[in-house]
Structure 1
Amino acid sequence: MSDLQKAWAKSRLTAGITPDAFDEREEEMEEADSYITDLPESHPDDDSSSASSASSTGTIIPSPSQKLFARPQGVPRGRTLQPIPWTTYFERELFLQPPESAPGLTLHAYLTSPGDKGPLFVMHHGAGSSGLSFAVCASEIRKRVPAAGMLSSDARGHGLTVTPEGEELDLSLGTLAEDLLTVILMTKAEMKWKELPPIILVGHSLGGAVVTELAKSAQLGNALLGYAVLDVVEGSAMDALQSMQTYLSTRPTGFATLEACIEWHVRSRTLRNSTAARTSVPNLLSMEPAAEGDSRPWKWRTDLARTQPFWEGWFVGLSKKFLEARGGKLLLLAGTDRLDTELTIGQMQGKYNLQVFPEAGHFIHEDLPEKTAISLVDFHRRNDRSALVLPPKVADLLKQGKRSKPNSSTHIE
């Protein structure tokens, strides 16, 4: 609180308002300004960091023996900018090396396995983000469906996915969709699942184009229940690309600390939820050897300017593919102004479910993880085929020696 504010507070003593009470009210207002979800019960271990994750099995499983993120005694009230590690939200991380790909490609993903007959939410982040973009939202889904599994991968050139050294970065839509399919199938093999669980694909921005491309390919077969696209449609995406370079020119090129980058995301309103920012932002940066006079050694992992040749290919034809692919369809937007003509007509025809969160920014799932989770859980329940009660097969009735009655709903010719 500033000196001017304190002077004003002292002048209010005669009204029964103390400076201490004023300080407490200010702290309450600061906390209310940034929606913070409760952290899930964590099971991390300091030795299970990403830096030490190059194991022979390609899987890192944190120890369940510690709760590192219980609130320490003596910590002052108010917001903290300390990073939250992935172990708070996911069971393990996977480092997958496709046998048929070029040597040196390692696809990285975070996983919480589904329980018995539970669905698997497969998530793909937007350009410049990482698999941890969905961490808080994933925990909110698990609160409502404890048997649900979560699989959130890092795209090429993002997060901890490693591409062959010296190879030109390929971020074409077809390649990214093939990578996502590879992650799903290799996770099934790694975890020794007999078959793929029921799958809900979830993609934000670029990720929305990727999951739509995969859904349109029908390569997941009957395992795919539906797909959800978060805050991207073809028309508005193509328009936004025109101002992308302007945005990149105004973004800081580096930061002195991880906390400084988290603070920039929150203060700039790029992310409106400080818990989500503390979780996802640290993975967007890597520390580079400091050049002489450079006080900001933390640099962006993903050079968004290098992705420009792929921008148009990500979104051209997206609306048509979204409407035509098989499976349930959900579109979550931060504003109805993002709808283009084709999707507006499709929505009026009831071809997909639409929900709008005007209080969110572009990162809907990070700004409003709880509301996003509720929408995704409801979407799964509407498309869950395991809840359907099918009529008995005619062949089974004949084996049991039963014949249909004249007025029965089941007729046997």
Structure 2
Amino acid sequence: MSDLANDLLRKKVRQQDAQSEFFSEGADSLGQLPNTRKKESLIGTQKLPEITSFFPHLELFTNDDGYVFQTYYKPPRQEVGESSVVFVMHHGAGSSGATFAKLTAAIERQCEMQSISSVPGVFTFDIRGHGRTGLLNPSTEENTKLSFDKLCDDFRFLLQCFHERYMSEGPPPSYFLVGHSLGGSILSKVVSDDVDKNVCLKNNLGQIISGLVMIDIVEDTAVKALSAMKSYLNAIPKQFPSIERAILWHIDSNLLHNLDSSLISVPELFTRTEEEQYKWIIDLRKTEPFWHQWFEGLSRRFVNIPSRISKLLILANNDYLDKDLMIGQMQGKYQLVVFHNNQLKHSNTLTTATQTIPLQDASELGHFVHEDVPFKVAASLIDFVERNDYNFATRNSSSSSMKSQIDLVAALNAKWGVPQ
């Protein structure tokens, strides 16, 4: 959420997007983007992809209260008998599981580019009141009762269901939890509670959580941004005449910078009304009573999680850490990766793994950094797994100049004559 405060205060979003000079006057057709006068070269005509292209397994999980959750899963790929790595991803407020679609594809592509023999799986879901989960529970007030404790309980339930459904057989997997914005805060709370109280995750699932990643969330910045949130939500368009207009609004208002990602993530935020308009599935204004509890104490919880669970913080355009995060960084309690817009002009700003940046990454980034530059974020995640899970498959060095840390250590030991 580090970039969100600046975005909210820097630009007022147009309340009536239909009057925008960027939109064409012709009729729209769901499934294609229209040509527009000033953005024709950028957008053109493209098909909206299906979410099953990214997640082959879509399954519903129902809790004891009868609330139904939509989940998405792409299985890992590894050699027979090897333990698997699975990223469990949690989206933020106002988003959906589809926000991780392009990142999921980028993880597989990065493994291919780096000649890594295994590919981590990805499990994600639409949280309470959001995306398809919100549509599956249309008549319940539970869709907007997003207390922090309830959201944490939801995640514990879903992780347990997922593990029992897909991972109970064979070698235990390594779970790397990845949360964007509010999702990062929820995951930090779940992990922190499990470590401190040992009562939250059943069947010792906490013991196979190897890492925690937070994407673009700093407590101090997030709390300050909340003061502008109500005005922002009141200013955004309440509905759009087509999905195409909704996509263009997200791009034009700088919420998203990657058109390819917006084609899959934006449609999952809307539902069609009887008047053939597209309105937001979740009205975040109704969740205002819970905003502050979402982020209070986040930084301290994250930093104080024991080193048994490796931690990574990915930020966009912001290297201003609050006090707890700054002290934790100086003490080496977590890994920090910061992307800047001015770095996107260069091809080797992160590691040698990113010397070739696929064109699917945007030329700018913002709060949804994992959507704007999915290939760079995927490279960071794979590097994080390699550093912290020694069971993760090594690279095929015969077909790649890249080597894992283990390969590099072995090479240096041989050079220096260190006994193996």
**TM-score normalised by the chain length of structure 2:** 0.69
User: CA offset at residue 176 of structure 1?
Assistant: 1.3
**1:99-130 deviation per Cα after TM superposition (whole angstroms, max 9, x unaligned):** xx212x11111101123422000001110000
CA distance in 2, matches of 1:163, 1:108: 10
Q: Residues 177-216 of structure 1 correspond to what in structure 2 (within 5 A)?
A: 177-191=152-166, 193-194=168-169, 196-216=172-192
Per the alignment, residue 9 of structure 2 pairs with none
* Higher mean C-alpha displacement, 155-164 vs 350-359: 155-164
Q: Residues 131-142 of structure 1 correspond to what in structure 2 (within 5 A)?
A: 131-142=97-108
Q: Residues 314-353 of structure 1 correspond to what in structure 2 (within 5 A)?
A: 314-326=294-306, 327-353=309-335
Is residue 123 of structure 2 the alignment partner of residue 151 of structure 1? yes
User: CA offset at residue 191 of structure 1?
Assistant: 2.8
Write the letter of the residue equivalent to 2:281: R
Per the alignment, residue 111 of structure 1 pairs with 73
User: CA offset at residue 357 of structure 1?
Assistant: 1.0
Per the alignment, residue 87 of structure 1 pairs with 52
**1:146-173 deviation per Cα after TM superposition (whole angstroms, max 9, x unaligned):** 5311101110000111448334433122
CA distance in 2, matches of 1:164, 1:258: 21
CA distance in 1, matches of 2:139, 2:42: 44
CA distance in 2, matches of 1:143, 1:107: 29
Per the alignment, residue 174 of structure 1 pairs with 149
Per the alignment, residue 165 of structure 1 pairs with 139
User: CA offset at residue 243 of structure 1?
Assistant: 0.5
| Structure 1 runs (4+) greater than 4 angstroms displaced | none
CA distance in 1, matches of 2:274, 2:172: 43
CA distance in 2, matches of 1:240, 1:387: 38
The RMSD of aligned alpha carbons is 2.3
User: CA offset at residue 78 of structure 1?
Assistant: 5.4
CA distance in 2, matches of 1:81, 1:267: 17
**233, 248, 251: which one aligns with 2:236:** 251
Write the letter of the residue equivalent to 1:130: S
**1:347-403 deviation per Cα after TM superposition (whole angstroms, max 9, x unaligned):** 111111111112220001001101011111111111104269xxxxxxxxxxxxxxx
* Inter-CA distance 273–78: structure 2 relative to 1 (3 Å threshold): closer
Please tell me whether the aligned partners of residues 173 and 213 of structure 1 are also in contact (alpha carbons under 8 angstroms): no
User: CA offset at residue 205 of structure 1?
Assistant: 0.6
CA distance in 1, matches of 2:213, 2:165: 26
User: CA offset at residue 346 of structure 1?
Assistant: 1.0
Is residue 262 of structure 2 the alignment partner of residue 262 of structure 1? no
Aligned-pair identity (%): 38
Structure 2, gaps ≥5 residues long: 1-30, 33-39, 112-117, 195-200, 342-364, 394-418
**TM-score normalised by the chain length of structure 1:** 0.70
CA distance in 1, matches of 2:227, 2:87: 32
* Inter-CA distance 212–273: structure 2 relative to 1 (3 Å threshold): same
CA distance in 2, matches of 1:338, 1:305: 28
CA distance in 2, matches of 1:338, 1:164: 40
Please tell me whether the aligned partners of residues 232 and 338 of structure 1 are also in contact (alpha carbons under 8 angstroms): no
CA distance in 1, matches of 2:140, 2:68: 14
CA distance in 1, matches of 2:93, 2:392: 36
Please tell me whether the aligned partners of residues 179 and 214 of structure 2 are also in contact (alpha carbons under 8 angstroms): yes
* Higher mean C-alpha displacement, 184-193 vs 231-240: 184-193
Per the alignment, residue 65 of structure 1 pairs with none
Per the alignment, residue 16 of structure 2 pairs with none
Is residue 91 of structure 2 the alignment partner of residue 125 of structure 1? yes
User: CA offset at residue 87 of structure 1?
Assistant: 1.5
**284, 292, 309: which one aligns with 1:304:** 284
**1:290-333 deviation per Cα after TM superposition (whole angstroms, max 9, x unaligned):** 1xxxxx71000010101111110000000011011231110011
Write the letter of the residue equivalent to 2:152: A
Q: How many residues align?
A: 308
User: CA offset at residue 144 of structure 1?
Assistant: 3.0
CA distance in 1, matches of 2:140, 2:183: 25
User: CA offset at residue 203 of structure 1?
Assistant: 0.5
User: CA offset at residue 338 of structure 1?
Assistant: 4.2
Matched residue of 1:286: which SS? strand
* Higher mean C-alpha displacement, 137-146 vs 76-85: 76-85
Please tell me whether the aligned partners of residues 313 and 334 of structure 2 are also in contact (alpha carbons under 8 angstroms): yes
Per the alignment, residue 271 of structure 1 pairs with 256
**1:60-114 deviation per Cα after TM superposition (whole angstroms, max 9, x unaligned):** xxxxxxxx99xxxxxx98533542220121111111112xx212x1111110112
Write the letter of the residue equivalent to 1:367: D
Per the alignment, residue 229 of structure 1 pairs with 214
CA distance in 2, matches of 1:196, 1:387: 13
Please tell me whether the aligned partners of residues 81 and 262 of structure 1 are also in contact (alpha carbons under 8 angstroms): no
Per the alignment, residue 48 of structure 1 pairs with none
CA distance in 1, matches of 2:172, 2:227: 40
